[in-house]
Amino acid sequence: MRNDQTLSPATGQLLHSFPEVSNLEAQTAFTTAHARYTTDWRLRPVSERALIISKAARIMRPQSYQLATLITPEMGKLISEAHSEVELSASILEYAWECDPDATDRGLAIEPWNFPYYRLAKVTGL
């Protein structure tokens, strides 16, 4: 099995190397996630799910510098842009769950990964 690599788009420097995931490992991850969804998350009231999602925003804000530092080399962003993305993502998580008490309970998104926190927050918040 080959290794996948994360390269800095700004410098081309190797940032991480990790084993490629096999089809079986990917299927196991999907099966586990679906089981968790059907036996836990789906059974929680929307109000409880909203609290969990908004808690994620409250966790992100005090760690915004550390989170921004994680994506700066991988995305080739300025630290200020990465920090703004973290703040925007936290705001989206808070706003979306405050505004939509009847939020949908499932979805699948295949997203570009050039704004990782924002894309995750957008999909989670919608």
Q: What angle do CA 117, 122, 126 make, to 5 degrees?
A: 150
pLDDT single digits (tens) 32-71 = 999 998 999 889 888 888 888 888 889 999 999 999 999 9
Element housing 25 (H / E): helix 23-39
What is the per-residue pLDDT across 89-114, written as a single tens digit (0 to 9) for each?
Answer: 998 888 876 766 555 555 656 566 67
Q: CA neighbours within 13 Å on the CB side: how many for 73?
A: 12
Residue written as token pair 């410098």: 11
Residues 6+ apart with CB under 8 A from 79: 68, 69, 72
Boundaries of every domain in the chain? 1-43, 45-126
Predicted structure pTM score: 0.71
